[in-house]
Amino acid sequence: MEMVPSAFTRRRFLAALGIGTVGVAAASACVTLPTNAPAATPHPADHGETGSAGAGAADMDAKHEAKIKAFPAATKGKGGQPMPFRMEGDRKVFEVTCQMADWEVEPGKVVKAMTYNGTMPGPEIRVTEGDKVRVVVKNELPESTAIHWHGLYTDNLADGVPGVTQPPIKPGETYIYEFTAAPVGSHMYHSHHDAATQVTAGLLGAFIVEPKDRSKLPKYDSEYTLILNDGSHGFTLNGKAFPATEPLKMRMGETLLIRYMNEGLMAHPMHLHGMPMEVIAKDGYPLPNPYLCDTQFIAPGDRYDVLVRPVNPGTWAFHCHILNHAESAEGMFGMVTVLVVEPAAGAAAPTLPYVCKLDRETA
Amino acid sequence: MEMVPSAFTRRRFLAALGIGTVGVAAASACVTLPTNAPAATPHPADHGETGSAGAGAADMDAKHEAKIKAFPAATKGKGGQPMPFRMEGDRKVFEVTCQMADWEVEPGKVVKAMTYNGTMPGPEIRVTEGDKVRVVVKNELPESTAIHWHGLYTDNLADGVPGVTQPPIKPGETYIYEFTAAPVGSHMYHSHHDAATQVTAGLLGAFIVEPKDRSKLPKYDSEYTLILNDGSHGFTLNGKAFPATEPLKMRMGETLLIRYMNEGLMAHPMHLHGMPMEVIAKDGYPLPNPYLCDTQFIAPGDRYDVLVRPVNPGTWAFHCHILNHAESAEGMFGMVTVLVVEPAAGAAAPTLPYVCKLDRETA
Amino acid sequence: MEMVPSAFTRRRFLAALGIGTVGVAAASACVTLPTNAPAATPHPADHGETGSAGAGAADMDAKHEAKIKAFPAATKGKGGQPMPFRMEGDRKVFEVTCQMADWEVEPGKVVKAMTYNGTMPGPEIRVTEGDKVRVVVKNELPESTAIHWHGLYTDNLADGVPGVTQPPIKPGETYIYEFTAAPVGSHMYHSHHDAATQVTAGLLGAFIVEPKDRSKLPKYDSEYTLILNDGSHGFTLNGKAFPATEPLKMRMGETLLIRYMNEGLMAHPMHLHGMPMEVIAKDGYPLPNPYLCDTQFIAPGDRYDVLVRPVNPGTWAFHCHILNHAESAEGMFGMVTVLVVEPAAGAAAPTLPYVCKLDRETA
């Protein structure tokens, strides 16, 4: 009986804190992700109850462990990076090319994605309220498209709905949108043409409008945009499926802003272990009365801004709580990542005032 | 390169404002709506990537355009109209006949609906708090039924649950419910017998209780009840599927109250383009702290009251943001309509301070 | 035409109030519950429209009535009972054995459940904030497992995520978790290993942390924990499906606290007939501005605390308003129960100031 954390757990814990040192299994085999339907939940009697119970359990554990050891797995491409712009007079000009791209969702799973500038999600557009914005959209896809600025107050002709506010942007065409950035908040841009397919296939990105007067913002030390998707490419966080999802990192004493956005076809309740989230805004609009929770439901089209202030350091699981979007008998997959909370800057590694005992009294 | 709105967009915009002049394609072909399951999202590689890419794109665009040109499509029957009543002493008496009816969900798609007084949704019942209400329910359906007053404080025996508070109302029978109207708010009436079938098949309607003291109401210029459904008749708004859904209309400077009600089996996040919604009540109860959003999630049984104050004039798309409830490769369908915001009364047509440029530089 | 409540309704009403006298049909046939998918909604034209319309209606009514007459049906086993503990020094020690068990979900439907201490849900753990807690977990399942303390502020190594914070607890092993109970509120404990299967199969329970200073609690007279599940064992409330679900009971003038918890894979909007619910906490955290509703949406991982103060006595239906989780053409099933509101203590049986008239004018 061990009265202190086992070597296993201590090693994992420390490895997680210095997470770059965790080995990457670039060629690990990948589970086939269910699409648009809950995974079947096998009857519990289906595994482990045959004569080879122990063997079945060990096999399942090995699969689970392999998945976790592969995390965070290296994959090609990273979505949601800042989109550069140039000034033309007093106007910020962004260039968006709609194009097919091979996109590695998880190690070895490369899909045909529809992308903005080659990544899924597309680059993050970030401007300040009142900015004059021009977005030059070139369509290199084999089908028509259009961009809707979800949450923004554009003039009607810039709203991006083919047949209502503009013609579709045909293959090879370029279309230019102009508007003044408002309102402040976490918004999105995505296709509004054959959108059930095009958005879930990758034509989506964050569009964030910052206030001129930053003193109005809540206090936070860092921020993270987390885009949910669940279309033909599987269950993803920022375009990647576990174990290729990105771990979030912060320190004790800091505050992290997470901007949740759902671009999928299903709602996802995101659960953060070990600490509360303070929900401060819905669709970019500050809530008059922020509330605390540990599981925040995010429906398609929703954005929620939450502040995270950790209670304890460690490696905290962070996943969709529709459990078959996150785990199967083959191990964790899809909408899973972790929040790594390091000790406060300059502080010693945390003393661990608890005891987790592993007592292998085999039955 | 055009530096002003293209003829196409200007024409559409003006047509939309005078929306009655838009042609109606009464015989347009209709997509088969998926029921109780998300539409499969075809892999993006499935269309447009063959040698005939341009042809595929043009074909898809043509289908989309045909759907939109058909909007708002004329269909037979309009649900949710005010239900007349007569006074008997101090009591308001409503007569409801449960009957099968042919119901045109969209042009050419006529279904066997179960209805209250022949329409889907049934007529809207509207009373004042404290009103003594009698509803005489005659069942002309081939099966039994009963009515539950969803959200109302009836006495138990008027609650409408066969086997618990009453016997089922058999084919040919008449049943009478009496209660005093309370509480104030947006409520519903619907079947509580084989309800998963009967409600989604059409046995549903709005039941609105207005306050005696109308000075307690929020200020609004007009109101609209929007009932969501998703049963065997497909994805519908007030019993109609796009392009047969009804456009909402208002003017700049006005406030519109929308009463959302979900009578379906799925939740629907309704997204209004270009402006916020102020959510002021849940299930008829005023929220202590109304909040703003542009996407409001409405689950089965929910009612949400929201106030809309437009930011810009125009024709604003308004749809469920579970995108496969609203659009497929065949074009928009199901839970889609628009909010047409006309210029303020007496004001000139809006100057359009933006530029949407269409630059057909074919690749 | 009867001008007073029919004998049928009065009898049912009184029977419900003295609910123990309702007969139990221990061997009633059971509907096969759909798993992980909405029940198909048959087209309304499919029943009752043949020549034998009346016969079809009577047959359906008989099936519905049989289900209701069987309620509340006796089944073996009751989950969620208080978990005993012993003190070891200043520490409360709970013993949890993970074990397969035959579990009777409804009369005659016995499933292979994965359980904590033999019941589904597992016993309710209830402690006071600041309590030092030890949970000794013995795994007698044929597969590995681990327990996550959903909502609690444990130290990281007690968080229960195999591969991240601990090794899996293998068949035959014992694992010990220690932590200090916080924060106050309605939390859960459940498997975090192959969790989509293990949790829905029964490895779940309530974990409630009460405040040291009970004067901070809202005022209520009684409380009820209501755990939703929808996995391979069907749609259940506290591990039982209608007609084996447990009726809730209270008196006029009292306040009932309901702690909703969702351990399933789907969200469920719970609708209480005839009275409001005041929503006072999310995930254990008091809401800064409680709100009223009659339908509360509860997503997987969510907890909501609501206060119920009845408006009228009676037997009030209480069910998931995704109607195909609650009713089919075979009658009510799954997520259905009732709240029985008895007259105030010492008060006479309620006078019934309403009139429900049944007028059998056969067509």
Q: What is the pLDDT of residues B246-279, one digit of tens each?
A: 999 999 999 999 999 999 999 999 999 999 999 9
Whether residue A301 and residue B352 make contact (CB cut-off 8 A), yes or no, is no
pLDDT at B33: 27
- Distance set, CA C132 to CA A273, C128, C136, C154 (Å): 20, 9, 13, 11
Checking if the pLDDT of C356 tops 60, the result is no
User: Looking at A96-100, A146-150, B57-61, which range is the least confident one?
Assistant: B57-61
CB contact under 8 A, A164 and B68: yes
Q: Which of C197, C285, C301 sits opposite A329 (nearest CB)?
A: C197
Establish if A298 touches chain B: CB-CB under 8 angstroms: no
Q: Is the pLDDT of residue C27 over 80?
A: no
Q: Residue B328 and residue A196: Cβ atoms within 8 Å?
A: yes
List beta partners, residue A337.
A318
B197 phi and psi angles, rounded to 5 deg:
-85, -50
User: Which of these, A192, A271, A272, A197, lies nearest to A229 by C-alpha position?
Assistant: A197
Facing residue for A175 by CB, picked from B276, B297, B358: B358
What's the average model confidence in pLDDT over B60-73?
A: 95
Q: Does A272 touch chain B (CB under 8 A)?
A: no
Residue C2's identity, in one-letter code, is: E
Question: Does C127 lie at the interface with B, CB-CB under 8 angstroms?
Answer: no
Cβ within 8 Å, pair A266-B326: no
How far is B244 from chain A, CA to nearest CA, in Å? 16
Does the pLDDT value for residue A245 go beyond 50? yes
pLDDT value, residue B86:
98
pLDDT (0 to 100) of residue C53 = 55
For residue C47, which residues of chain B lie inside 8 Å, CB to CB? 142-143
Average pLDDT over all residues of chain C = 85
C-beta neighbour count of B12 within 10 angstroms: 24
**B positions 168-187 inside 8 Å of C (CB):** 168, 170-179, 183
For C131-162, what is each residue's pLDDT tens digit?
999 999 999 999 999 999 999 999 999 999 99
Q: Which residues of C324-358 are buried (b: 16+ CB within 10 A; e: fewer)?
A: bbbbbbbbbbbbbbbbbbbeeeeeeebebebbbbb
Residue B38 has pLDDT above 60, yes or no: no
Q: Does C255 touch chain A (CB under 8 A)?
A: no
Confidence check: pLDDT of C37 > 70: no
Across residues B204-222, what is the average pLDDT? 95
In this predicted model, which residue has the larger pLDDT, A166 or C45? A166
Q: Which of A156, A176, A201 is nearest residue B314 as measured by Cβ atoms?
A: A156
Find the CB nearest B329 among A170, A194, A287: A194
Q: Does B321 touch chain A (CB under 8 A)?
A: yes
In the 8-state DSSP scheme, what is residue A254? -
What is the predicted pLDDT for the residue at C264? 98
Residue A55: per-residue pLDDT: 78
C213 touches chain B (CB under 8 A): no
- B129-153: pLDDT as tens digits: 999 999 999 999 999 999 999 999 9
**For C186-233, how does the pLDDT look when each residue is reduced to its tens digit (9 = 90+)?**
999 999 999 999 999 999 999 999 999 998 889 999 999 999 999 899
Q: How many CB pairs under 8 A join A and B?
A: 226
Helix H or strand E encompassing A174: strand A174-180
Looking at A64-73, A128-137, A353-362, which range is the least confident one? A353-362
Asked if B316 and A159 come within 8 Å (Cβ–Cβ), the reply is yes
B347-363: average pLDDT: 39
Q: Structure tokens of B31?
A: 């997509």
Query: What pTM value is reported for the model?
Result: 0.87
ipTM topping 0.95: no
pLDDT in tens, A186-208: 999 999 999 999 999 999 999 99
Among A84-88, B278-282, B346-350, which is the least confidently predicted range?
Answer: B346-350
pLDDT bin (cut points 50, 70, 90) of residue A226 is very high
What pLDDT does A355 receive? 32
User: Per the CB < 8 Å rule, is A291 touching C300?
Assistant: no
- At residue C8, does pLDDT exceed 80? no
**CB proximity under 8 Å: C 5-44 to B:** 5-6, 8-9, 12-13, 16, 37-44
- Whether residue A48 and residue C143 make contact (CB cut-off 8 A), yes or no, is yes
Q: How far is B212 from chain A (nearest CA, A)?
A: 29
pLDDT tens column, A130-156: 999 999 999 999 999 999 999 999 999
What is the pLDDT, as a whole number, of residue C17? 35
